[in-house]
Chain A
Amino acid sequence: MEALTKDIPLDKVSWSLITASTVASVTMAQYVAVAQNRGYNIAQLRGSIQNDPIHFRYCGFRPACPLDVSIRLGCDVMEYCTRHMPKWYYTTVNMYDLREQGITAPQEVAFGFGIAKIYIDELIRRGLSIDDFAPRFTFYVSCHIDLFEEVAKIRAARRIWARMLKEHYGAKNEKSMQFRFAVHTAGCSLIPQQPMNNIVRISYQALAAVLAGVQSLHCCSYDEPICLPTEKGHLQALRTQQILAYETGVCNVADPLGGSYYVESLTDRIEEEALKIMGQVEEIGGMEEAIRTQWLDRVFEKEALQRQKELDALEKLLVGVNIFTTELEKETPLGVQRIPSESAQRQIKETRELKRIRDTNKLKDRIKILREAASEGRNVIPAMIEATRAYATTGELMGTVREAMGYPYDPMGALTNPFG
């Protein structure tokens, strides 16, 4: 984190910290530690951190994401930021990754809000009032290829959120009721066949996001289904946004499709469908129960299979897959991004060196304090900040909290706690 933020004036720049949500607590602690070391008043810092550990279990890191640890750490960050960093956006509840599992637009909204409710309920249980924190609650939303459906989905989400905050949670501040979100165009809608077509798909998806109204937009790189994004692919994605923003004029109007008979009726339909699904989740005992009993996993599996069958049966058409197919390209148009294996080796070497030169005694004390905070149910962020100052690693911080909460130190079961 020190290396990352070197020479950058943290009070003049807004930061977007996007790391694996499982360790968002560590990332936040690292950022705060670095800022404080450099003499900044953290209450003035602006930025955001993804911090949605609950959903991360569906991103292939299940052993690292026990539900109670996720809720605990996610809310520790949210609570800490609410109390000490009022200009910071402390979460981006990630509906995008859920949609990537293959679910439908109404399901994306329903399950995303379901997870949001878990965090909100916990923060309220901790004594925060809804208007204390809701104005900074944000989401990450997908934008898929069915243009009108995506616009309607986002409009429906806006309605549902506003009503939920006002009627269910009793929010009084208008800012609490605003559905604040960033869009990531849908990675799973892109295909390696005829890859340049993906640029067109991404453009339509970005257009849908803007027509629906969004606070922040990320466009996929066209080579998403082929490899990690190349620099050229990145640049193309950026240009896509720039053309949209500066040439087309669509950003000059808010909600331009409002009043369209079709979009309004579609919005109603998606709202109804999403609310119905949220009702189903309540019936089985709430979102936590749905996650714990793997009900949600079953939904994801069923929908993923259904998406494939729709393509097989030509119910959904995809250019290059089931219509207008050509032979698979032999080359990736803008090259392939490769990560040199040396980069992993370098990181390992640097970590070993860090462990060698740091003050182990100071670290042991700080870890002990963290362990106590974790087992006594207190917010762990202050202790994490102090332990980070003593150069504790991510693994050591997370492992300490995990053990204190009754889980193995290492989710993969390979390492034991070096602090005994």
Chain B
Amino acid sequence: MKTERKIKVIITKVGLDGHDRGAKVIAMLLKEAGMEVVYLGMYQMPEFIIQAAIDEDADVIGVSYLSGEHLTFTEKIVEEMKKKGLEDVLFIAGGVIPPEDIPILKEMGVDEVFVAGTLTQPIVEYIKDHARK
């Protein structure tokens, strides 16, 4: 029997960045919006994040950056996504990111950036509208 398709989201932190309050909150909010969230927690490296996205057949990868290393890690993550053929997976980022860096991240391949202080609705709507069907 056909069931309603659920959006599967990976929420993760990268490297040594240990500030996970935002990531956990986003994960819970997306669950309450009806999505299935695989929460990978802290200390993940790009290859592990991407392989998890493959195994979980994820529609969205969401990375929370509070360490100032968003440019270095995004480059590695996008490279890994391309290498493993995950270009159709939505890549969103959030956290403490200067506005100057947002266009740079998008240029690199991030689909959208939600900095601190974003309300829940825009994030949920964005994912629902843009995650692959």
Contacts and interface: CB of A to CB of B under 8 A. Distances in A.
Contact size range, B:
20 to 34
B99 A331 contact: yes
Nearest to A314: B119
Interface stretch (B17-25, B49-57, B75-83): B17-25
A130 interface: no
Contacts of A61: 18
A329 B28 CA distance: 28
B21 A412 contact: no
Contact size range, A:
35 or more
A338 B28 CA distance: 32
Contacts of B100: 330-332, 336
A277 to B, nearest CB: 20
A192 B20 contact: no
Interface in A53-88: 59-62
Given A191-B117, A328-B99, A331-B100, A305 B68 contact: no
Contacts of A332: 98-100
Interface in B6-49: 17-21, 24-25, 28-29, 42-43
Contacts, number: 75
B63 to A, nearest CB: 15
A329 B17 contact: no
A365 interface: no
Given A225-B96, A227-B98, A312 B117 contact: no
Interface string B62-91: 000000100010000000000000000000
Contact of B121 (A59, A226, A312, A329): A312
A316 to B, nearest CB: 12
A348 interface: no
A193 B43 contact: no
Contacts of A336: 98, 100-101
A412 B96 CA distance: 24
A311 B119 contact: yes
A192 B115 CA distance: 8
B9 to A, nearest CB: 16
B41 to A, nearest CB: 10
Given A192-B117, A321-B119, A328-B115, A60 B18 contact: yes
Contacts of B99: 192, 226, 328-332
Interface of B: 17-21, 24-25, 28-29, 42-43, 68, 72, 96-101, 115-121
Those 10 A-B pairs whose CB atoms lie nearest each other, nearest first: A60-B18, A191-B117, A336-B98, A321-B117, A225-B116, A312-B120, A304-B25, A226-B98, A304-B21, A227-B98
Given A192-B96, A192-B116, 12 more contacts: A60-B42, A61-B18, A101-B21, A102-B21, A191-B117, A226-B96, A227-B68, A301-B24, A309-B120, A312-B119, A328-B99, A341-B72
